[in-house]
Chains A and B, each alone.
Chain A
């Protein structure tokens, strides 16, 4: 595509198309509609980390007035599937049943009730009689593959559906490895060697709207699923699979949803759907906050070892990444998060010898899932701490080390080819990279050269420090993800834009409308967006893998280019121009303009095409897959204040300089960066799910799982450095995920700058910082099991 700059709509920040209604409290979300005769569902959750259900008797619950349906594993089809909302065939193993005779974590599903009121449904849960044979649990991921460890998935038919390693008999849910060159030989000869092991902990996405689903049967006995999902088309496919009904019988509608961050990439709608199918009544299920914390999905905890071998001038000669992730009780996203630990970090620093191995293991703890960052969060932390250590050993500034060794425009990486998601990757060269400018502008904004090292050797009790990191992510899963769009023209020259892409609050409906408006030459209010309805909109894999703007946006651009051609054809007829002169027409502000300055409005074109001559619907469909996943790049800088007496660490200022290509809507792009940064800071400092020695979550509430609020906010600086990604719509690449990966390493490196002590185990709580200052071993992974309540 030729460079179409300057832009008209792209690069501006008009109002988000759905924002005013939401601000005014419009009934826009799943739970804002009432359907007459609606039942309320509640689920019974396992009290045991690992147990077999030896007897389950729901007769007392069924006898309770107002209870309409109770489902146990005796009442539902036994169909193994994955809840991971991924493309087909999924890279996550088929290890999950709608309801099973075995439970694998505290919070696993045991039974479901649908009743006339929520209170009756809750009461009925207590009337379900369950006898368990309690089994020894696996609560430490480091011990999950020990010989003789309890086998969590001993069902004989659990399986991988793509050709990847899967060994449930030793609790191995996913494995990936690759090697380029000879890393061990190169390490042995490298003059500078760094060896760092970091852990990351259980975190939860905490969308402010928990998962909520309403299912009903329409007049034609079709199952309608109105749900808070990021992946409506995967919901349709996977619910059809697990309920054993045809895809064509299901319609999934995603209205406005209250945030997702990956947790709504999980297909948890099956049991609500089954209740609706069994009762013939509308059924609503809404997770409580405690259920959202424990029984939806989490970030895979990890242990990642990074070894760097560098030349004396800083050039990497060997990089090795050894990864262990904990997928919890089910293997949702187990393999692919592990893959991304390598694929979203290693290409940043080109190196001739690269080793990468990752295991993802089952434990009897809550289930890992997709979470913004998706492996990059887990691996960028040790990688960037290792780079900080390397810079110190080399005696160079950490900013200068990154500047010297990062990947550049025109460069490829063998890692792109070797490492995909559950299969080999795709060869690609970097088409856009403004990381140098991110480093420059970020360093100025934080005051890097003035502030670096200022308090390290001072006698002050409260010390300031600055730290930084460099980051990359991707934009869509190349040659796997597909997005599609359609456009049709209305009487007044407006257009319906129908997209399968899923706006989970990100503003993608607005961004996609801007892309359509740009390509058509109309104002934004002439593009009416409707998204994510499996009956009405074309397919899209959904909102994940930083794909929507880049991938679905290009589908929209293509559809708009086709429709624009149709508009020009009709305009040429109106103007009496020969068809060959169409190329000389241009569009602007809803008008077609001829070289002689005569004008035809889009409304005239629409009226002619619909009512007057050679009537036809001006409309188009377009699909897009990408052969590349161009990385956005970023340089993050943190300034922290550490109290050496209390161990309390506060982020004073945070600078995120991001190259996301063209920001289609700069204000919304800033919002993505700010939101990701603050989520990352809060994960680095306070957020952590804690478990007791029976595997029970100890803090499933906002009162005890601290996410940042306004008073906790540091000074935030967001810098978007424009670049032009040649493969993206109007030069765009992704922005949503990358910035959640920065706070862990940037803050850890800043703490080191302040107090000379390195932390490898977040969150960086006062206890851990004090332990590190005193030189005693900080609480190790999983710290929660060491100080459990029993």
Chain B
């Protein structure tokens, strides 16, 4: 069957098996930032934004997102033009193995789109369920607060948040 959706700003039509999970449809289409960690919706590594809302793509059928707007980390930035969340994660030392990082960045993005000036508790709530075994989360929380400050500065300077 065919799945048509807007992925990272581009309208795409993918050929997918009728019972394909969204994680497999996206990874097969080259969006390898969507990581497989559990296939039960528990670890957060496969998170994508569906119409701006974080969703575990391992427990969603591809067919369920027909016509929706999907965002993966590839859509936020590149190493040449990184999103402030990516830079903040790197600068904080929050990226160890990096396997959980794309999912966390997307949930953080959803948070900052709603709440540009979150507290540490807000960040903890937003990242909860993104399992990380390397870091102890301290530096991710710092990073999201730092990214929020960077985005506010940029917005104040007229750059506009992405």
On A, residues with C-beta under 8 Å from B are 13, 15-16, 18-29, 31-32, 205-210, 256-259, 261, 286, 288-289, 504-507, 667-668, 670-671, 673-679, 701-703, 707, 709-711, 713, 716, 718
Could you tell me if A702 and B38 are in contact, using CB atoms closer than 8 angstroms?
A: yes
- Distance between B43 CB and nearest chain A CB, rounded to angstroms: 6
Residues in B with CB closer than 8 Å to A289 are: 37-40, 42-43
Could you tell me if B96 and A507 are in contact, using CB atoms closer than 8 angstroms?
A: yes
Residues in B with CB closer than 8 Å to A677 are: 136
Partner of B93, one of A21, A22, A256, A667: A667
Could you tell me if B98 and A256 are in contact, using CB atoms closer than 8 angstroms?
A: yes
Could you tell me if B45 and A208 are in contact, using CB atoms closer than 8 angstroms?
A: yes
**Do A259 and B32 form a contact, CB below 8 Å, given A29-B99, A210-B37?**
no
Partner of B99, one of A258, A671, A673: A258
Interface centre among B33, B35, B72, B96 (most CB of A within 10 A): B96
Residues in A with CB closer than 8 Å to B150 are: none
**Do A505 and B134 form a contact, CB below 8 Å, given A289-B38, A702-B43?**
yes
Could you tell me if A208 and B133 are in contact, using CB atoms closer than 8 angstroms?
A: yes
The residue on B at minimum CB distance from A34 is B28
Could you tell me if A675 and B43 are in contact, using CB atoms closer than 8 angstroms?
A: no
B95 at interface by CB-CB < 8 Å = yes
**Do A31 and B43 form a contact, CB below 8 Å, given A20-B82, A259-B99?**
no
Could you tell me if B127 and A25 are in contact, using CB atoms closer than 8 angstroms?
A: no
CA distance A505 to B135 in the complex (A): 10
Could you tell me if B98 and A258 are in contact, using CB atoms closer than 8 angstroms?
A: yes
Residues in A with CB closer than 8 Å to B135 are: 671, 674-675, 678
- Distance between B77 CB and nearest chain A CB, rounded to angstroms: 6
Residues in B with CB closer than 8 Å to A259 are: 96-97, 99, 133-134
Partner of A701, one of B36, B38, B45: B38
The residue on A at minimum CB distance from B143 is A23
Residues in A with CB closer than 8 Å to B74 are: 24-25
Going nearest first, the 5 A-B pairs with the smallest beta carbon separation are A25-B33, A505-B97, A22-B98, A674-B136, A258-B99
CA distance A716 to B42 in the complex (A): 24
Could you tell me if B131 and A25 are in contact, using CB atoms closer than 8 angstroms?
A: no
Could you tell me if B130 and A31 are in contact, using CB atoms closer than 8 angstroms?
A: no
- Distance between B146 CB and nearest chain A CB, rounded to angstroms: 13
The residue on A at minimum CB distance from B102 is A25
Partner of B78, one of A19, A24, A718: A24
Partner of B125, one of A209, A668, A711: A711
- Distance between B138 CB and nearest chain A CB, rounded to angstroms: 5
B129 at interface by CB-CB < 8 Å = yes
Residues in A with CB closer than 8 Å to B133 are: 205-208, 259, 261, 675, 679, 707
Residues in A with CB closer than 8 Å to B95 are: 16, 19, 22-23
Residues in A with CB closer than 8 Å to B5 are: none
CA distance A751 to B109 in the complex (A): 39
The residue on B at minimum CB distance from A673 is B136
Could you tell me if B90 and A208 are in contact, using CB atoms closer than 8 angstroms?
A: no
**Do A713 and B138 form a contact, CB below 8 Å, given A208-B131, A701-B40?**
yes
CA distance A257 to B74 in the complex (A): 19
Given contacts A25-B31, A675-B134, A679-B133, 18 further A-B contacts (CB under 8 A): A18-B98, A20-B90, A21-B79, A24-B82, A208-B99, A209-B97, A258-B97, A259-B96, A259-B133, A289-B39, A506-B96, A506-B134, A673-B136, A675-B136, A707-B131, A710-B127, A710-B130, A710-B140
Q: How many residues of B contact A (CB 8 A)?
A: 56
Partner of A675, one of B96, B99, B130: B96
Interface centre among B91, B98, B137 (most CB of A within 10 A): B98
Residues in A with CB closer than 8 Å to B76 are: 24
- Distance between B51 CB and nearest chain A CB, rounded to angstroms: 20
Residues in A with CB closer than 8 Å to B45 are: 208-209
CA distance A726 to B111 in the complex (A): 48
Partner of B136, one of A19, A261, A678: A678
Interface residues of B in 53-109 (CB under 8 A from A): 72-74, 76-79, 82, 85-87, 89-102, 105
Interface centre among B86, B136, B141 (most CB of A within 10 A): B136
Could you tell me if B139 and A258 are in contact, using CB atoms closer than 8 angstroms?
A: no
Could you tell me if B137 and A710 are in contact, using CB atoms closer than 8 angstroms?
A: yes
A sample of 30 cross-chain residue pairs with beta-carbon separation below 8 angstroms, ordered by A number, consists of: A16-B96, A19-B90, A20-B79, A22-B101, A23-B85, A24-B76, A25-B74, A29-B35, A31-B32, A32-B32, A205-B133, A207-B133, A208-B37, A256-B97, A258-B97, A259-B134, A289-B39, A289-B40, A506-B96, A507-B96, A670-B93, A671-B136, A675-B133, A675-B134, A677-B136, A679-B133, A701-B42, A707-B133, A710-B125, A718-B138
CA distance A709 to B44 in the complex (A): 11
B152 at interface by CB-CB < 8 Å = no
Could you tell me if B125 and A703 are in contact, using CB atoms closer than 8 angstroms?
A: no
- Distance between B24 CB and nearest chain A CB, rounded to angstroms: 9
CA distance A206 to B38 in the complex (A): 10
B132 at interface by CB-CB < 8 Å = yes
Residues in A with CB closer than 8 Å to B100 are: 208
The interface bits of chain B over 10-33 (1 if a CB of A lies within 8 angstroms of the residue's CB, else 0) are 000000000000000000000111
Could you tell me if B134 and A24 are in contact, using CB atoms closer than 8 angstroms?
A: no
Residues in B with CB closer than 8 Å to A32 are: 32
Interface centre among B38, B74, B128 (most CB of A within 10 A): B38
Could you tell me if A671 and B139 are in contact, using CB atoms closer than 8 angstroms?
A: yes
Could you tell me if A24 and B136 are in contact, using CB atoms closer than 8 angstroms?
A: no
Could you tell me if A31 and B72 are in contact, using CB atoms closer than 8 angstroms?
A: no
Residues in B with CB closer than 8 Å to A23 are: 73, 82, 85-86, 89-90, 95, 98, 101-102, 105
Residues in B with CB closer than 8 Å to A673 are: 136
The residue on B at minimum CB distance from A705 is B42
- Distance between B20 CB and nearest chain A CB, rounded to angstroms: 10
Could you tell me if A20 and B36 are in contact, using CB atoms closer than 8 angstroms?
A: no
The residue on A at minimum CB distance from B91 is A15
Interface centre among A19, A506, A711, A716 (most CB of B within 10 A): A19
Residues in B with CB closer than 8 Å to A26 are: 33, 79
Could you tell me if B42 and A702 are in contact, using CB atoms closer than 8 angstroms?
A: yes
- Distance between B93 CB and nearest chain A CB, rounded to angstroms: 4
Could you tell me if A709 and B90 are in contact, using CB atoms closer than 8 angstroms?
A: no
- Distance between A422 CB and nearest chain B CB, rounded to angstroms: 29
Residues in A with CB closer than 8 Å to B131 are: 206, 208, 702, 707, 709
Could you tell me if B130 and A257 are in contact, using CB atoms closer than 8 angstroms?
A: no
Residues in B with CB closer than 8 Å to A15 are: 90-91
Residues in A with CB closer than 8 Å to B86 are: 20, 23-24
CA distance A194 to B52 in the complex (A): 59
Residues in A with CB closer than 8 Å to B94 are: 671
CA distance A29 to B36 in the complex (A): 11
CA distance A259 to B128 in the complex (A): 19
CA distance A74 to B90 in the complex (A): 50
- Distance between A289 CB and nearest chain B CB, rounded to angstroms: 4
Partner of A711, one of B87, B99, B124: B124
Could you tell me if A709 and B35 are in contact, using CB atoms closer than 8 angstroms?
A: no
- Distance between A666 CB and nearest chain B CB, rounded to angstroms: 9
Residues in B with CB closer than 8 Å to A710 are: 123-125, 127-128, 130, 137, 140-141
- Distance between A323 CB and nearest chain B CB, rounded to angstroms: 27
Residues in A with CB closer than 8 Å to B31 are: 25
CA distance A787 to B98 in the complex (A): 38
Residues in B with CB closer than 8 Å to A288 are: 39
Could you tell me if B128 and A711 are in contact, using CB atoms closer than 8 angstroms?
A: yes
